[in-house]
Structure 1
C-alpha cells in the first residue's frame, strides 16, 4: 500500500504520517528501490494505534516512547504495557468526569421547564434551588 492509499484509509494527511515516522511515533516504513514508502500490515497497525491513542489523549512523547520500546532489543513489554495502562487509567477518569457532566445536563434538561415555571410563579427563589454540588451523582471526585 502506498502513502496516498494509507492517507485515505485512515483519513490522515500524508504529512502527518511522514511526521509520525520522522519523530518516531511509528517505526520506520520499508521503502522500495525508488525510496517510496511501502506500507505493510504491521505499519498499518502502528498508524491505526497512533491515530487512536492520539485521539484518546496520549501525548506524542508517550507514543514515541512506546514505539521506541517496541524497537528495542531488550524485553520491554512491561514498560510498553505500563504506558498503555497509564493511558487507560487516564481515559477512565475522563470518562467518569464526562459521564457526571452528561448526567448533570440530563438532569438540568429534565427539570428545566419545571424550575422555570416555579420561578415564574414565585414558588421558587434562590434559597429553594437545588444544591447541585451536594448531589451524589454530580459530585466531583477529588
Structure 2
C-alpha cells in the first residue's frame, strides 16, 4: 500500500521510541488499529503520524494518560461528542495555565536571585552570600 510507514520510520518522524509506539498502541491511544503487512509488520499512515504528534504534545504538557485515552476514544467515536472533547481540552488547558503561573512565580524568584548574585559579584561583596556562619539576616545576604 502506498504511503505506509514502518514503525522505525514513525519513530524517527515523531521522536518516539519504538517501545513508546507499541505502548501507545497497547493503550488504545491511536485512532485506528495499526494495519499489519503480509509479513506481520506494523504499517502506519500519515494520519497516524499526525495523531501521534497531537498525543505527544498533550502528554508533554502533562495530560494524564487516562484523559488522553478518553480523548482518543471520543475522537474515534466520530461526530456528536465535541462538547465532551472540548471539556477535556479545557480542563487540560486550565491545568497547563496553572502550571505556567507557578513556573512564572519560580522564574521571578530565580531572576531576582540572579540579580542579587550579579550585583554582589560585580561589587565584590559575594563572599558570605547564604553563608549560615556569617550571622545576620539571610535575606539581606542574598
TM-score tier by shorter-chain length is 0.7 to 0.9
Aligned residue pair count: 127
- Are 2:137 and 1:126 aligned? yes
Aligned to 1:133: none
- Are 2:67 and 1:65 aligned? no
Structure 1 segments (4+ residues) deviating >4 Å: none
When normalised by structure 1's length, the TM-score is: 0.76
Shift in CA distance, 36/114, structure 1 to aligned 2, threshold 3 Å = same
Q: Report the 3-state secondary structure (helix = DSSP H, G, I; strand = E; otherwise coil) of the residue aligned with 1:62.
A: helix
Match of 1:106 among 104, 111, 115: 111
Structure 2: state its 5+ residue gaps: 129-134
Shift in CA distance, 16/127, structure 1 to aligned 2, threshold 3 Å = closer
Aligned to 1:43: 48
Any idea what the Cα deviations from partners look like across 1:39-73, whole Å, max 9, x if unmatched?
11211111111111111111111111011111115
- Are 2:81 and 1:76 aligned? yes
Any idea what the Cα deviations from partners look like across 1:99-120, whole Å, max 9, x if unmatched?
1111111111111244983986
Separation in 2, partners of 1:128, 1:16: 46
Structure 1: state its 5+ residue gaps: 131-142
Question: Is this contact kept in 2: 1:119–1:125, CA < 8 A?
Answer: no
Shift in CA distance, 100/38, structure 1 to aligned 2, threshold 3 Å = same
When normalised by structure 2's length, the TM-score is: 0.76
